A = this chain, B = another copy of it.
């Protein structure tokens, strides 16, 4: 059990007296009640935040939850009067930003109280609409998922774990490979990326009740993922899932679940969340002190992705036009982009477009597949920005001399506004995947071959 001290009962004392008392009690986690005279967002907010931050930091404390006063102050998310409701929402938005500034990952919000002259149903509509608007702000600022993610990752780390298993099949195991690579090259955490169906039968000797198993699934119903999650749970391991659809068998089965909501770009969202999950594990092991800055930049990523996709759009279209009849591609990648390379070849070109595609790791390219390259072979190079880039450069130099059909997709071509130089290599995974998706869209159009079309998958039993 963990305790946090709250300052509401100290509202007739100065804030520092409250902190002194917590120190004496050995409590270093604080639930910050935001109300007069300690901090009120409509009076000297900036100064208050600055002072509180300094005090908290100097005492090695942490604000685990930010709770704006909402019972006695004149704000009510369920109010019948639309103007009052509007000003109440504004008040909470203001507080969300204060919480962000205080590096807190949780904000407590209650429903408000419906007007007694209207039905419960009507008030419910008002309050749920208000909370929806707040959640959109929180989501945009990364607070929503960040709070949840840090909450469960910290809990797991505190409890202790032995290793991390990244489990999936097809696209969802490919999506894990970047994080396996990132962990291997940045952390001493013991990590294993395993294909679900194989994992189930292989008696993996490193897997135990002390393992943390991470899954992703758009539908939350993928058979093999479900079976693997059930297997892990039965063995007493800790299970985490990122799922797009709410209320699925997978969301219900795992110990910790983030439901992202159903949308077109679930994979892009999964990437963002996986950054937060994986780097939080590293942070908790004192292997990633830049975590705070990194997480802020994760929130800038959606915009960077949007800009990258825009700037790549024309190139994607040109590729699709040029290659609409090409029946074979080689795709080469390395390091944290190997997963995307493998996935795009198998799950997009092969599965969704029925085009033969060989994915080959840059470090392996010169040990076999190179012999197939002739003057018109299509070779697609996925270049990222991690330590393995020189391996890609070498492949590039070679193929540029042999074939005229080289396509280079290089994350260095994208600006990634606001992203620090040191983090670009990590975010390259996400950027690369997003721009590849544009190629898919244009291939679908140019080849008149729907991305949804399947000969067998979910068309027949096997």
Contact = CB atoms under 8 A, between A and B. Distances in A.
Given A335-B202, A372-B350, A363 B185 contact: no
Interface string A291-332: 000000000000000000000000000000000000010000
Contact of A198 (B363, B372, B397): B363
Interface in A322-370: 328, 334-335, 346-347, 350-352, 354, 356-358, 360-364, 366-370
B346 A387 contact: no
A456 interface: yes
Given A206-B184, A354-B372, A367 B169 contact: yes
Interface in A205-222: 205-206
Contact of A397 (B354, B361, B394, B462): B462
A120 to B, nearest CB: 47
Interface stretch (A73-81, A86-94, A187-195): A187-195
A398 interface: yes
A371 B388 contact: no
B371 A198 contact: no
Contacts of A181: 202
Contacts of A205: 184-188
A209 B306 CA distance: 44
A350 B371 contact: yes
B350 A198 contact: no
Given A202-B387, A361-B195, A366 B184 contact: no
Given A197-B391, A328-B356, A366 B457 contact: yes
A360 B351 CA distance: 13
A236 interface: no
Nearest to A191: B206
Interface string A239-253: 000000000000000
A201 interface: yes
A173 B454 CA distance: 34
A351 B364 contact: no
Contacts of A368: 170, 346-347, 350-351
Contacts of A173: 364
A349 to B, nearest CB: 9
A106 to B, nearest CB: 31
B358 A169 contact: no
A171 interface: yes
A350 B369 contact: yes
Leading 5 A-B pairs by shortest Cβ distance? A170-B367, A346-B368, A197-B363, A351-B368, A195-B363
Given A202-B335, A370-B457, A402-B456, 4 more contacts: A190-B190, A198-B335, A201-B387, A394-B462
12 contacts: A184-B202, A184-B206, A188-B206, A190-B190, A196-B363, A198-B334, A198-B362, A198-B388, A201-B391, A202-B388, A203-B387, A356-B372
Interface of A: 169-171, 173, 181, 184-188, 190, 192, 195-198, 201-206, 224, 328, 334-335, 346-347, 350-352, 354, 356-358, 360-364, 366-373, 386-388, 390-391, 394, 397-398, 401-402, 454-457, 462
